[in-house]
Each structure stands twice: as structure tokens, then as C-alpha cells.
């Protein structure tokens, strides 16, 4: 099978089931941003040595593929229900957040994105996750969207923040502290 089809050469693409949309449509923007997020998590995973964290990231990547499939399947499609993400992964992320947070020192200041390369990359993934969430919220204002996607992306950004902190902590790398710049 060839990787290229030439069907998108005119600036449109297909959803599951064949519905064609412009590549600049909000639904396609949301799908693409989730894909971008998945790529950043994949990159971060190559930098992380801890097996438990790598396994969490692999679960996230699979979940994001499910999110993309959910977004790409119109609610009117006969198989739409098969592609809707369930709430259980959000609960799984909450458990991971709580477990990882228990090993971290409490935050007493705002921290800046950074630390070791893996930690900084997870912070990039976190802000791309927030952008993905905004794209999906924008889409939900004009089209039917599974509300679990928004909830899931919101929780995922929290998990990515905790993962970044955990990677830095385990690498014994200090988190950069925000120092307010004032004129006084």
C-alpha cells in the first residue's frame, strides 16, 4: 500500500466514513494538534530511562490515538460508538498523578518549564496538550464532540506537568523557580 493517495492535494482530507473537510477546518486542526502532542510525548519517551514513566507515556500515546479516532469519526457514523473514548483512562491518569505526586517535594513556588532535557520536553508536551484542549473546546462550540475528550486532555496536561517534575526529581535536576521581575 502506498503512503500517499493524492486525495489531499487540493487542501482537503477525509474523516472516517469518507466525509471530506478542508485541512484548515477546526476538526482537522484538533486532530492534527493531538497528533503533534503524541509526537512530543514519543520524543520525550526516548529521553526517559525509568521504565514506569516510559510505560505511562506509552499508555498516553495509545490513548491519544484513540482521541484522534474519536475526533475523526462523525457522530452520525454507524460505528461512532465504537470510537468514543471512555472515562476510565481519565481515572487512570488521576491515579498516576496521585502516585507520582506522592514522591515529589511539595511546590512552594511557581516553576519554569525546564530542568533536564526529558523534563523540558514533557513541559513542551504539556503546553501542546493545552493547545489541543483549546482546539477541541473551539470545535465543541460548533460541532458535537465527546465531552470525555476535553476532560481527558485537561487531566493529561496535569499528568504531563507531574511527569516533567518527576523526571527532573529522579534526575536530581533542580526545577527552575520563577522569579518575578518588578521595578521595585
For 48-75, write each residue's pLDDT tens digit: 999 999 999 999 999 999 999 999 887 7
Kindly state the DSSP code that residue 13 receives in the 8-state scheme: E
Q: How far out from the chain centre does Cα 90 lie? A: 12
Domain extent, residue 54, equals 22-97+111-170
Number of domains into which the chain is organized? 1
Residue 102 lies in a domain: no
Residue 11 lies in a domain: no
85 with 146: CB under 8 angstroms? yes
120 with 113: CB under 8 angstroms? yes
Q: How much is the CA Rg of the chain, to the nearest whole Å? A: 18
Q: What is the pLDDT of residue 47?
A: 98
Query: What CATH number is given to the structural domain containing 39?
Result: 1.20.1200.10
Residue 160 lies in a domain: yes
H or E, element range at 135: helix 117-140
39 with 9: CB under 8 angstroms? no
Nearest-angstrom CA–CA distance, 154 and 160: 10
Residue 81 lies in a domain: yes
Residue 177 lies in a domain: no
Q: What is the pLDDT of residue 26?
A: 86
Residue 6 falls in which region: left (phi positive, over 0), alpha (psi -120 to 50) or beta? left
How crowded is residue 7: how many other Cβ atoms within 10 Å of its Cβ? 10
Residue 85 lies in a domain: yes
Span between the terminal Cα atoms of the chain, in Å: 65
Among positive and negative, which fits the CA dihedral 133, 63, 145, 95? negative
Nearest-angstrom CA–CA distance, 152 and 84: 12
H or E, element range at 14: strand 12-14
Q: Which residue has the cell 487531566?
A: 155
**Residue numbers of the chain with a pLDDT score lower than 50:** none
Residue 49 lies in a domain: yes
Residue 7 lies in a domain: no
Q: What is the pLDDT of residue 1?
A: 78
Amino acid at each position: 500500500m502506498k503512503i500517499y493517495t493524492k486525495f489531499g492535494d487540493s487542501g482537503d482530507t477525509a474523516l472516517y466514513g469518507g466525509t471530506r473537510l478542508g485541512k484548515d477546518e477546526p476538526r482537522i486542526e484538533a486532530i492534527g494538534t493531538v497528533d503533534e502532542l503524541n509526537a512530543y510525548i514519543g520524543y520525550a519517551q526516548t529521553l526517559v530511562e525509568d521504565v514506569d514513566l516510559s510505560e505511562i507515556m506509552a499508555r498516553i500515546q495509545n490513548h491519544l490515538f484513540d482521541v484522534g479516532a474519536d475526533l475523526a469519526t462523525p457522530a452520525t457514523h454507524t460505528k461512532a460508538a465504537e470510537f468514543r473514548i471512555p472515562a476510565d483512562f481519565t481515572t487512570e491518569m488521576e491515579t498516576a498523578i496521585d502516585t507520582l505526586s506522592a514522591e515529589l517535594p511539595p511546590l512552594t513556588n511557581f516553576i519554569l518549564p525546564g530542568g533536564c532535557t526529558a523534563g523540558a520536553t514533557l513541559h513542551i508536551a504539556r503546553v501542546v496538550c493545552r493547545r489541543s484542549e483549546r482546539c477541541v473546546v473551539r470545535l465543541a462550540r460548533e460541532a458535537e464532540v465527546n465531552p470525555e475528550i476535553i476532560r481527558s486532555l485537561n487531566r493529561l496536561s496535569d499528568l504531563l506537568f507531574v511527569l516533567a517534575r518527576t523526571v527532573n526529581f529522579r534526575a536530581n535536576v533542580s526545577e527552575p523557580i520563577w522569579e518575578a521581575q518588578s521595578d521595585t
